[in-house]
Amino acid sequence: MAGSQYEQVLARLREASEILKLDPGIYKILAEPERTLETSLPVVMDDGRIEVFQGYRCQHSTARGPAKGGVRFALDVCLDEVKALASWMTWKCAVVGIPYGGAKGGVCVDPTKLSKNELMRLTKRYAYAIAPIIGPEKDIPAPDMGTNAEIMGWFMDSYSAVVGTLSPGVVTGKPISLGGSLGRREATGRGVMVTTRELLSVLGVSPQGMTCAVQGFGNVGSVAAEIAHGMGMKVVAVSDISGGLYNPAGLDIPAIVKHAAEHTVIAGYSAPGVTAISNAELLELDVELLIPAALQSQIVESNADRIKAKYIVEGANGPTSAEADKILEKKGIICVPDILANAGGVTGSYFEWVQNLQNFYWTETEVNTRLDNIMAKAFHEVWDFSKKLNLSLRTGAYMLAINKVSEAIRMRGIYP
């Protein structure tokens, strides 16, 4: 079963629910989102014509708190994708123990084809369209693929205009000057490396000299690669949408980060010993640690048997299919799942939201220390639970998350 992304989510939910012997009624609740909104977004373009874009917001669960999840601007955004990503957010928040449920949203658009003014008008129209179902105590969006801090600032302004009061807590990932949190941009990549550090610690493996490949060089992958480099790992390959770089002797990650900041992509970077490599080739390199931090469905049934890494720590959402999981398990590859490994982003967003609500702001050191504590604690909870029941880390993480959400549903009761 390759199936849709949402079918992939349900496959994981079914597997964990069967082991848990979950009440069938609770399963039915968790298998469908609480609420989905589809909206048509008319935008006046720079030349005066009107274009209409399709937008979505899905709230999977609010059993444990307000819904939380990013907003994507991409051509492949569709209802199936936002439902899948909203579900993952529910499990992610539960795994790390922050008081949110899952949501996701997006607009079907290529943001690179819009002028800055067109992008601002689209963002403000989208915020206006979903305003009835969002809010600091209902649903808090954040940046995701194709969106950034500036777009979140526009979003906050539009929502604030609708409700008639400045409302920084409606969205996270904002510019610092508008109530954003220090350390928020790096939080996902930092969380990936906290879980990596804890994994190596429980295995008794030193990161010094460990070979590592990172697929994806955006906010998540670049930060993870920098921290891995700082831990003494030999990062031999990185890639982004423009292609990949490989050097078996190790790459100069700070230099590549500088190049990417100046050119937006890693294409064009050159240094002695560095050769070009494709995203597909990167996944199959003979390295100890693989960090897929790009898109979903990268490790699938057709290539899983060729994966040589000993450890996979998922920086992206859903990079490994349910079918590939079985193959990786048979090969003895340890995989730290996305709902644990990349939960640093939503944890950082939670910190921003808390600061907004209190109107009291923390130092970057305070943010990073709190993030480290939460991610390390969550890793050990999943590790201990999984080892005790002889489960994969993914199944263990899902079971813990489902337990927490189903317990909240049971304790609250069904209304009315």
Task: Answer whether 242's CB lies under 8 Å from 266's CB.
Answer: yes
Contact 71, 142 (CB under 8 A): yes
Rounded CA gap, 102 and 63, in Å? 10
Cα–Cα nearest to 68, from 340, 281, 372, 348 = 348
Q: Give the distance, in angstroms, between the CA of residue 249 and the centroid of all CA atoms in the same chain.
A: 30
Residue 68: CB partners within 8 Å, gap ≥ 6? 89, 93, 100, 101, 102, 103, 139, 140, 142, 346, 349, 350
| Dist. CA 309–CA 368, nearest whole Å | 28
360 φ, ψ (degrees, to nearest 5)? -140, 120
Q: How far is CA 51 from CA 42, 56, 120, 159, 396, in A?
A: 6, 17, 14, 22, 46
In a 13 Å sphere around the CA of 143, the CA atoms on its Cβ side amount to 23
388 counts as catalytic: no
User: Which of 104, 124, 174, 234 is labelled catalytic?
Assistant: 104
Cβ–Cβ < 8 Å for 118, 367:
no
Contact by Cβ (8 Å): 198, 379: yes
The Cα-based distances of 199 to 127, 207, 226, 324 in angstroms read 40, 10, 18, 21
Q: Which residues are marked as active site?
A: 104
